[in-house]
Every structure is written in structure tokens, then in C-alpha cells.
Amino acid sequence: GLMFNVNPVEAVRDAAKQCEQDLSKFTTDVSLDRKLYDALVSVQTAGMEPIPARFVEHSLRDFRRAGVDKDEATRKRIAEIQARLVELSQDYDKNVNGDVRFIEVEDPKRLEGLPQDWLDNHKPVDGKIKVTTDYPDFFPFETYVKDDELRHTLYQEFSQRAYPANSDVLLEVLKLRKELATLLGYASWADYAIEDKMAKSADTVESFIKEVKQVTEPRTIADLQVLLARKKQDMPDAEHIMAHDRFYYIAVVHKEKFDFDPQSVRPYFAYEKVKQGVLDLYSELFGLEFVKLDMPTWAPGVDAYELKVDGQPAGRFFLDMHPRADKYKHAAAFPIQTGLESGRLGWASLVCNFPDPADGDGQALMEHDDVVTFFHEFGHLVHALIGRKGTFPSLAGFNVEWDFVEAPSQFLEEWAWRPEVLARFATDKDGKAIPAELVQKMRDADEFGKGVQLMRQIFYTAYSFFLHKADPTDLDLDEFTTAMYNKYSPFPRDEKDKVYANFGHLIGYSALYYTYQWSLAISKDLFTRFEKDGVLNKETALEYRHDILEPGGTVDADAMVEKFLGRPRNLDAYKAWISKAPQ
């Protein structure tokens, strides 16, 4: 929940933790209430309007998947498992959020390559420069620092967060999920978790992983050959590109082969300008209005806004965008209250870890990757607030099939790469807009490294899926991790890599990390409409809002996509994007 992840007061976080446990118990009790289930079974859906009928059908499905039709002893054990899983999930997240590691650098010359604004914000204390594993430190450091040993050391700290604490936590989660799936009649947790998604079955997902890996491998191999050749210029004995090399050598190749230096775009991406640019674009394209509110929030620097749709209030949201101690370490949209067309306002919060204007010179320059993340996560926020169709919260907001939920957000990332969009807000401190030719260089360079980056995502996809297909009884997490690295990762496993201790999606998404690539394939298909009609075409954007965002979960995702595209979805655009070679 939101407060557990963002509130700076420990007592409030602890209270939120207890509230989450109480709410989960209530939800479990409802899902196992046989009298309530029997009452719903008696409802006749023949002749009913589509949305109420869908609510009844989905509710009955969810009751059965919860185990309501099992005997009393089984229902009691299911409730015990669900309660324990909530506790373990909170423990896992708390361990990651609270474990900010760091290295200290005594010789400033070893930081050669870092942007000046980053260095200005990291002054030595007692002769040492502290570099943490928080995102605003970690990603620029791994991208720009020439010193291989330093990059490797920070990467190892990053990849060991919450280790060893989360090893036992995760193993217990896996065992309980397996037990729960067995009680409910499924072969594995993966089979259970995927049944009510677009994919419908674990076999479909396994085939999807295999197909995407096959399409991606040629690009990955080509990328790795170029990267290793470049690394050998610095380290002639190098045999592999390692995980801590990824960002650095991709950036080096971008600079040397494509004449693009990622630092060259940073001056155009000051946080406040990016924020306003995102708000303005959504306003113009989708007929939305954002009004800043003067109201209390849970921490300094958190902003509150009202969202209006076609001039009418539709929801309110918070932007909690900068790092803090004990705060959530990634980027996500947190729904607070689902809005409904009956008049109930939606509430949500965006939680990120972007550079803070309160630090340094106040510019808070962002990497372009941060800009893409902003577009993506804001897409989730808008989807959560304007998916208000009907009167049932369980079918509103982004309560869609989980393997569709990322598509509307990934779709919005496309605008972060368009020169005509970036020119509207990406200006340097003198007000000069980012040159179109620089954006084009960035786009051209981005085609290189795509194979490596995508294969890394396939590794995470396979990791989460097969971890939940495996028998956890005697599972050795390190042996499993090495096997997954050997089969799916573009890099060998670092000897200190403990991905299972800090891969947060293993808790929130369980076996479902595949949804990112599944959704990405859909988003590439959806964008073909804008490629045809124009990326700033308001009519197409409003059609997208009406067909994809506003229905929430009142319609099957496949039906929404088919209505917008005028045809069934396919993988053509996704495969073409993967296979496109850098020029």
C-alpha cells in the first residue's frame, strides 16, 4: 500500500502495515464466504446489462479461484496462507526499501566521466564521496564512470540489497504459493496466476517466452559482439560483457559509433520542465486538465493535483517523485480509491525516485531514461483515474487483465522519443529547445543495445515464470539463478549477484513478469494507428482514450484493442521493432 511505502514516519508505516494485513484478512474472509457465494450464484444474468452481468461472472470466477467451494478445513488453511503471504510480502519490500548500500570514493579522479551536475551534488565529506544504490546515484554512475572496478563494486552492492534477509522470505513465499495452488487444484502457482489473464495458460506464456527469445537472439548476439570488441580496447583480456558493463559500454558505443553522448541531452531535461511537459501533452492529446492543489501531503516536496476530464472533476492525485529514506525505491502508480462515473472521484499517487530540485543548483537534470519512465508511470496514473465506466470498482481504473495493464503505459513511452513532442518542453537553462537532429541521433543510437536490453528483460520474464513453475521443496535459489543466467541472460552471473533478494516483482507480480513483454507487443501494435494518423493527432488520441482507457475492466482487453485497431492484435509491429538493426 501507499503509506507503507512512502510515509517518512515509522509509526505511520507500521500502522499502514497492520491496516494492509487487516484489509487482506477481510478480503480473504469475503472471498471464502460460502453464503455470499451462494447468493451470487442465484443471480440470473440472462437479460442483464453487459457490465453488471460481467461483474457477476467475474465475481463468481474469483470466488471459485479463491477456494470458496472447498471444505471448511481447506478454506481455513487458505485463509492462513493468504494472511502469511501478506506479512512476507511486506517483509520483502521493507528489507529492500531499508537496505540502501553505498561505496565511498577518496580519489575524485576515479569519477572521471560523470556529469558535472552529478559531481556538484556529491561533495566530499571527510575526504570521501559517498555513492549510494539509490537510482539517482546508481544509474548515472554505472553509465558514465570509466573506472571498471568502481562500477563493478557499486553493481555488486546494488545486486546484494536485502541479502541475506530476503532469501528465507522468498523461499517461504514460494512454498506457500505452491501449497495454495495445490489446494486450489493447479499444478503450479504459474498455472494458477495466469488462468484469468489474456494468456489463459502457463503453456501459452512458455511458448511466448520461447518465441520472443528466438526473435531477439540475433540482435542480442550482434550487440554483444560490438560491445565486447569495444571493451577489449580498454581490457584486452576481457572475455565477456558483464552486467556492470551494460550501461557504460552501450553509452560508449552510442558516442563513438552514433555520435550520441547521453550527457548531451541531460541539460534539456530539468525535472520541473519535464513534469510540466508531461502534464501539457496529456492535456492537449486526451482532453484532460490538471489543477495544482494547495493541500497537506505526507512529506515535503509531494505535490497534489486535481484531474478534470472534459472540464469535469474526475480524480485527484499526488506526485511523490524524489528519493527519501525508507521510501519505495522504484517507480510505480499506487491507486488509492477507484473513481466511478456515478460521481465518485478517483485518487492515486505516482511514486518515483527522480533527481530532486531541492538539491544542488535546483535544475535536477534527468537522464532520458528517467523521462521515458515518467511518461510510462504517468500513463498508469491517468489510466487508473479515467477508467471510470460503470458502477463496480473491481471493473474500473486499471483493473484490466494483468497482462494488458502495462500496454497503455508502454504505449505512452513512444512520445518521449519524438522530436516534435520533446521540443515543446525540453529546453536548456537559456530556454533553447533540444535540437531535432540531437533527438534523431538519440533515436538512432537507441536501436543499438536493444538486443541486450531486451534479452535482459526476457531473463527477468523467464526467471519469474520458471521460479513459480519449479518445486520449491528443495529449491536452491543460487543454483536456480545460475541456471537462468546461463539460459536467458546476455551476461554471465556476477559471483555476488543475488537477484532473488531484491527483484521486487517476484512479490508483486509473482509469475507474471511476462506481462511487460506481452503488453509491449500490444503497445507496439496500438501505436501503428498513430504512426499512420500522426503522433499528435487529437482525434486518434481521443478515440484511444474512449476505446482503451475509459472502459477500465468492463470489456475484455482483446475486444478493446480490436475496436481501436479495427482488427485483431498481432505481433508484427513488435517483431519488426525487435529485428530492426541500427543504421
Amino acid at 123: K
Cα-to-chain-centroid distance, residue 27: 25
Alpha helix (H) ranges present in 32-144? 34-41, 50-66, 72-98, 116-120, 135-144
Calpha distance 235→258 (Å, rounded)? 22
DSSP 3-state helix, strand, coil percentages of the chain (rounded to 5)? 60, 10, 35
Calpha distance 336→346 (Å, rounded)? 7
CB contact set of 433 (below 8 Å; sequence gap of 6+): 268, 422, 423, 424, 426, 427
Calpha distance 495→512 (Å, rounded)? 27
Calpha distance 153→147 (Å, rounded)? 10
Q: Is 377 a catalytic residue?
A: yes
Which cell numbers hold the place of 2? 501507499
Q: Identify the CA nearest to 462 among candidates 471, 454, 472.
A: 454
Q: Identify the CA nearest to 327 among candidates 4, 1, 578.
A: 4
- Going by their DSSP bridges, the two strands 303-309 and 288-293 should be labelled as antiparallel
Cα-to-chain-centroid distance, residue 177: 23
* Biggest CA-to-CA distance, the chain: 76
Question: In the block, which residue shows the cell 478445513?
Answer: 73
Active-site residue among 142, 206, 367, 377?
A: 377
Q: Which residues carry out catalysis?
A: 377
